[in-house]
Amino acid sequence: MNLNKKYIKENIKTIIYALLIAIFIRSFFFQPFYIPSSSMEPNLLVGDRLFVTKYTYGYSKHSFPFSPNLFNGRIIFNKPERGDVVVFKTPTDNRTDYIKRLIGLPGDTIQFINGEIYLNDNQILKTKINTSNKIYCGNMILETRTYEEKLPNGVIYRTVYHKNNSFQNSDKFKVPENHYFFLGDNRDCSKDSRYLGSVGYVNKDNLVGKARIIFFSSDYREGSIFMFWKWKKTLRLNRFLKIIK
């Protein structure tokens, strides 16, 4: 074998090994995700890149690239907790990744009454911390109020509501067995479990992992990350290595 052929062969082997290691890490430990929408503002912004831990809730076919039918159900299952920020496959196509906050567990009831959330007939504590704020909804800017919500297990996080509170009232949502109910933190700009025809209740097998840390963030509205002369405006350095709550 001449040197050129040996060089090519060794490089191909190196690439294959690197791909196998990357697939192994991505499937069993950590997977990077990019935030493409404003449905989780103010906690997650468009342009945030984050790591999701795959082992937190155990493994299903959706833990692996392209969701192969390797086995049914979920193995080494650990129950998610209220308030977790979770990546899951949408039930409508079992392919699209969504990221939302877990509010309802199996057997729970959730209802909106006059813009307030009731979990198992008890109102979720909501404290106003900002009476006027501007939050994106796609390319639009909404005038919102910012609140801190506290779940029964003590988890506290920030949410925003449009000043007109467009989602005022609903019927009771009854979470089925082995399913979960998710909401976006940007309440009036989120397609989530309230919309049964598009997202609805999420089966435990559709859980991909728990969002843990933002490792990189850039504001595409200020320019591309390849435009280094704009990095001062583009890069959100204060969000690098930020723990997700």
CATH number of the domain enclosing 95 = 2.10.109.10
State which residues form the domain around 182: 3-243
In the residue annotation, 37 being an active-site residue is answered as no
Q: Which of 77, 86, 79 has its CA nearest to residue 210?
A: 86
In the residue annotation, 39 being an active-site residue is answered as yes
Cβ pair 170, 111 in contact under 8 A = yes
- How far is Cα 136 from Cα 112, in angstroms, rounded to an integer? 23
Q: What are phi and psi of 140, to 5 degrees?
A: -90, 155
Number of domains in the chain: 1
pLDDT score, position 133: 79
- How far is Cα 244 from Cα 211, in angstroms, rounded to an integer? 7
Burial of 174-208, coded b for 16+ CB within 10 Å and e otherwise, reads ebeeebbbbbbbbbbbbebbbeeeebbbbbbbbbb
pLDDT score, position 2: 62
CA distances from 58 to 67, 70, 73, 93 (A): 15, 15, 10, 21
Q: From the candidates 54, 89, 100, 210, give the one annotated as an active-site residue.
A: 100
Count of CB atoms within 10 A of residue 167's CB? Answer: 15
Return the ∠ at Cα 194 (arms to 66 and 203), rounded to 5°.
Answer: 40
pLDDT score, position 189: 92
Q: From the candidates 37, 38, 39, 190, give the one annotated as an active-site residue.
A: 39
pLDDT score, position 3: 57
pLDDT score, position 38: 94
Look up the pTM and report it.
0.90
Cβ pair 147, 125 in contact under 8 A = no
**Tens of pLDDT along the chain (245 residues)?**
565 777 677 778 888 888 888 777 787 899 999 999 999 999 999 999 999 999 999 999 999 888 888 888 999 999 999 999 999 999 999 999 999 999 999 999 999 998 899 999 999 999 999 777 788 888 888 889 999 999 999 999 999 998 776 778 899 999 999 999 999 999 999 999 999 988 999 999 999 999 999 999 999 887 787 777 788 889 999 999 999 98
